[in-house]
């Protein structure tokens, strides 16, 4: 998934009110406010002075002229902090039939209502196959070298999704949780049990009910976020 507008580098001043960030553009030193499309804690990614990449826009419908897309770790690695990118990147891959585990499904629908209060990210269907319900989660937390974790804060919504996926699996459908690790410095993924024990318990219950789990890495540059190789699950 390529960014629609060339990104520009900046230095983070602060992130606040969850969805706002002030930064200083490297070119000219102008201070701007950017939209931060990330509801999590962004643990380890929002320290003042961090080098970041912003996407400018001239959309009159948007209140802010910049969106925060990347953290630059300044060692050749990046983290994409925009959680919406995960679904957009996966949609491209699904439509192109580039994910071997899912390529046989003929029909791909996004944002389909299911359960009691949710919309599944993707519903895949095809003749002779059980429907496949896929929830996508963006993982950006890393507290140990090479290990990505999810979640980075307590997530009642994420727990509800696990419960509803488990219900789909018990009803005879396929249910899958696909973690997209949106940082290029990790080779494995695990659940952050200490951050949200309730989510961890729901995760194990859902797996026992038949939930399938996939984790994929990403290749990230200031030009694009692309699906990379599958990652190992577990610490």
pLDDT in tens, 103-152: 889 999 999 998 777 899 999 999 999 999 999 999 999 999 999 999 99
Nearest to 3 by CA among 226, 217, 184: 226
How far apart, in Å, are the Cα atoms of 46 and each of 54, 125, 147?
14, 40, 19
Q: Which residue is listed with tokens 């439509």?
A: 95
For the whole model, what pTM was predicted?
0.93
- In this prediction, residue 235 carries a pLDDT of 56
The domains located in the chain, with CATH, are: 8-80 (2.40.50.580), 84-233 (3.40.1350.60)
Residue 158: helix, strand or coil by DSSP?
Answer: helix
- In this prediction, residue 234 carries a pLDDT of 72
Q: Taking 90 as the threshold, does the pLDDT of residue 64 lie above it?
A: yes
């Amino acid at each position: 998934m390529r960014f629609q507008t060339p990104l520009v580098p900046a230095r983070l001043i602060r992130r606040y009110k969850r969805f706002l960030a002030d930064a200083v553009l490297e070119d000219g030193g102008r201070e701007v406010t950017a939209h931060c499309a990330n509801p999590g804690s962004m643990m380890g990614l929002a320290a003042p002075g961090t080098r970041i990449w912003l996407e400018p826009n001239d959309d009159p419908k948007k209140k802010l002229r910049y969106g925060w897309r990347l953290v630059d770790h300044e060692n050749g690695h990046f983290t994409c902090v925009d959680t919406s990118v995960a679904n957009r990147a996966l949609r491209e891959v699904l439509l192109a039939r580039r994910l071997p585990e899912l390529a046989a499904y003929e029909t791909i629908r996004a944002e389909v209502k299911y359960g009691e209060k949710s919309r599944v990210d993707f519903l895949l269907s095809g003749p002779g196959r059980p429907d496949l319900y896929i929830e996508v989660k963006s993982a950006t937390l890393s507290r140990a070298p090479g290990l990505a974790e999810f979640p980075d804060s307590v997530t009642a919504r994420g727990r509800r999704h696990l419960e509803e996926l488990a219900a789909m699996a018990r009803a005879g459908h396929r249910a899958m949780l696909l973690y997209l690790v949106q940082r290029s410095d990790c080779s494995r993924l695990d659940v952050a049990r200490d951050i949200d024990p309730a989510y961890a318990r729901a995760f194990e219950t859902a797996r026992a009910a038949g939930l399938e789990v996939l984790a994929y890495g990403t290749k990230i540059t200031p030009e694009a976020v692309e699906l990379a190789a599958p990652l190992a699950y577990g610490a």
